[in-house]
Structure 1
Amino acid sequence: MINSRRGFLGLASTLPLIPLAQAVGAESDSRSPLATENLGPRKTHPIILSTYSLWRFRNEEFRDFDRCLDVADEMGFDGVELLLYQLDQNELLSHSKLMSYKRRALSLGLPLIGMSTHQGFVTPDPELRKQNIDRTIGQIELAYQLGIPTMRVNTGRWGTSKDFDALMANRGVEPPLDGYTDEDGFPWVIDALEQCVAVAEKCGIVLGLENHWGLGLTPEGILRIIDAVDSPWLQITADTGNFLEDPYERLDKIAARSILVQAKTYYGGGQWYSLDLDYQRIGQILQKHDYRGFISLEFEGMEDYRTAIPKSLELLRQAFPRVKTNATP
């Protein structure tokens, strides 16, 4: 009689291995659900819906995260990325409300994959940087509660543009504060993210620094920060629509370090700009770097979401086949 776990494991290691097909009696039966032609990796990358595609900072009806989950389910997405800004303060303070989202996503078979957050570390004010570090740590802990494995973070920016419209009119380029240069900002961002990464590792949340604006405007800026922090818990969220010049060459530079890809579409014309992106080409870039993860749709056009989002989903399913590789995970 085996009277210990160690004894059982020792005995198990001496038993002969039986092929799976033989074990279930499916040696040569092509009608078996385990027939080899049905095995292998799924055909496409999983495509998820960013709730930004619906709310867009203006559609108040889609502040309701439950409604966003329903749309993602009805349209056939494989999961959801939450834009944290759309939840109001009362929801953030209500643990039971947050957990209800987690329960509802489970009931729909829609995993909560990512959470997009906002913070700003590009400031000479150490107290303001500390406030943003604390804020980001709180967001990491929120992602942990929701079971979300990756969280988008930003460097922040100088704030010298009149507003976001002015920033977009200047193609995302923003001058530093008087008396400072971008070189002053990199150590601030690196130090802040090192503090955040320590918490992210404990929570099992991979931070994805996005090629957004500020010091994340270029691949070189993003990679400089990633390399300086030097942690597997800080990688890249690659946004296909945020490199306004040379998008393919720039995406190629960050693809190998990307943990999530946000894919923008612009049906009906973009709110600030439109890019005619070749998603077949982008898919090939990701394949070259053995990207194996999720694609998150960020619809940013002016067409009605009820027609534009299904078209976007079909576009991404065609552009991002999941190709079998021999790479080690």
Structure 2
Amino acid sequence: MNIFRPDRRFFLKSSLASLPLLATSAADSQSWAFGEPTPPTTSHVRLSCNLYSFNEPLMKGQMTLEQVIQFCAELGFDAVDPTGYYFLNYPVPPNNAFLYQIKRNAFRLGLDISGTGVRNDFTLPDSVRRKAEINLVKQWTDVAARLGAPVIRVFAGLGKELPINYKRDEVTTWIVDALSECAAYSAQQGVLIVLQNHADFVQTADQVLDILHRVNSEWLAANLDIGSFKIGDPYQQIASVAPYAATWQIKENMFVNGEEVATDLSKIIRIVRESGYRGYLPIETLGKGDPKQKVAAFYEKVKKALAAAG
């Protein structure tokens, strides 16, 4: 049985063989094998663009997926993270020809595909519908594998309220069972399931960690969405989840005691460093305005914060 632990070195060691984004030199791998501490650094952190930043032009047909990827390459990103519903015929998985064209184009532009994601809900009372949601995640885990994406982002449940006549622990058990099945399947595909805190059924760090501990799989980790902790001090909650994160969503704004404020990027980068995280930091911009301008401006801010951290 796997022993779940908040140890970044353990996570990296167990996942190294299957995650190309985390590949390192033999010397680095040897230091992890002997359990030596990884010094805080941002030198192994790269920037990706979560393509939800372009949700409106993509959904309205004002830009194609290929055009958005081209823009991200020209801006200087190292990777892109395209959510599943920007592919043809979602939720039906696209055919290989379309997937491989996207994969080829990204590669030729010098971009990795750092992840993808789906919109699922494991809090549905109807077990048949929950099974369909599990199958959705499995189908898109296959898509992630064919794209070469190391992670697939999933939700616990889309609603904040409990289903009528059910208690939270019972609903959480549904989520744990679903994620356990998805993680067992994703292990066969070499893709990590990453649970996103999204201010829905999962609203706090404790709720994220409870689910991760109960599933207890090295193929399930956190997708740390810094803008979706809306209760209390988000920086404390982010720091507690950071050792379990396999990917992030870095946003312009956060909620401090329920009030929306600009993200203190220096604090976030400090947390990233102290957690020993190595991999991609996808950024995501939201709200009104030209996404090209918003993404470009935020990209520069995050780059400067990373440079300042050393």
TM over 0.5: yes
Counterpart in the other structure of 1:187 = 173
1:297 CA displacement: 1.0
Q: How does 1:117-128 map to 2 (within 5 A)?
A: 117-128=118-129
Is 1:95 equivalent to 2:96 in the alignment? Answer: yes
Summarize the alignment of residues 72-151 of structure 1 with structure 2, pairs less than 5 Å apart.
Answer: 72-89=72-89, 92-151=93-152
C-alpha distance in 2 between matches for 1:44 and 1:311: 22
Deviation at residue 94 of structure 1 after TM alignment: 2.4
2:264 alignment partner, one of 275, 278, 295: 278
Inter-partner Cα distance in structure 2 for 1:292 and 1:58:
30
Q: Does 1:68 align with 2:55?
A: no
Specify the SS of the correspondent of 2:115.
strand
Residue 225 of structure 1, aligned match among 211, 214, 217: 211
Structural mapping, 1:19-38, within 5 Å: none
Equivalents in 1 of 2:222, 2:102: separation in Å?
26
> Aligned equivalents of 1:244 and 1:58: distance in 2?
28
Q: Deviations over 1:60-95 (max 9, x none)?
A: 235621011111011111110011112231783322
Correspondence 1:260 to 2:261: no
Task: Give the unaligned 5+ runs of structure 1.
Answer: 1-40, 159-173, 267-272, 325-329
Bigger radius of gyration among the two: 1
TM-score (norm 1): 0.75
Cα 1:249–1:203 change in 2 (3 A) is same
The alignment partner of 1:137 has SS state of helix
Map Cα deviations across residues 203-251 of structure 1 (whole Å, 9 max, x no partner).
Answer: 1111110111333211111111111111111000001111123110110
Counterpart Cα distance in 1 of 2:57 and 2:183? 28
Residue equivalent to 1:201:
187
Asked if the contact 1:44–1:322 (Cα under 8 Å) also holds between the matched residues in 2, the reply is no
Q: Distance in 2 between matches of 1:46 and 1:320?
A: 9
* Identity fraction in percent: 25
SS across alignment from 1:48: strand
- TM-score by structure 2 length? 0.79
Q: Aligned partners of 1:135, 1:62: CA distance in 2, in Å? A: 27
Q: CA deviation at 1:58?
A: 6.7
Shift of 1:179: 1.0
Shift of 1:44: 6.6
Shift of 1:300: 0.5
CA contact (8 A) 1:243 1:250 kept: yes
- The answer to whether the 8 Å contact 1:84/1:117 transfers is yes
How far does residue 284 in structure 1 lie from its aligned partner after superposition?
0.7
Residue 243 of structure 1 is matched in structure 2 by 229
What do residues 114-146 of structure 1 show as CA deviations (whole Å, max 9, x unaligned)? 102111110221111111111110010110111
**Partners in 2 of 1:259 and 1:108 — Cα distance?**
24
How far 1:181 sits from its partner (Å)? 2.2
Q: CA RMSD in A?
A: 2.2
Structure 1 Cα separation of the partners of residues 292 and 158 of structure 2? 34
- Match among 291, 295, 301 for residue 277 of structure 2: 291
| Cα contact 1:150–1:205 (8 A) shared by 2 | yes
1:320 is displaced (CA, Å) by 2.9
In structure 2, C-alpha distance between the alignment counterparts of 1:63 and 1:117, rounded to whole Å: 20
Match of 1:19 in 2: none
Secondary structure of 1:193's counterpart equals: helix
Q: What number of residue pairs does the alignment pair up?
A: 263
CA drift of 1:48 comes to: 0.8
Distance 2:155 2:62 in 1: 24
Q: What SS does structure 2 have at the residue aligned with 1:46? A: strand
1:35-74 matches, within 5 Å, as: 43=43, 45-56=45-56, 59-61=59-61, 64-74=64-74
Does the C-alpha gap of structure 1 residues 321 and 209 become closer, same or farther in structure 2, counting only changes over 3 Å?
farther
**Is structure 2 residue 306 aligned with structure 1 residue 320?**
yes
Instruction: Give the drift of 1:306.
Output: 2.9
Secondary structure in 2 matching 1:177 = coil
SS of 1:260 mapped into structure 2 = strand
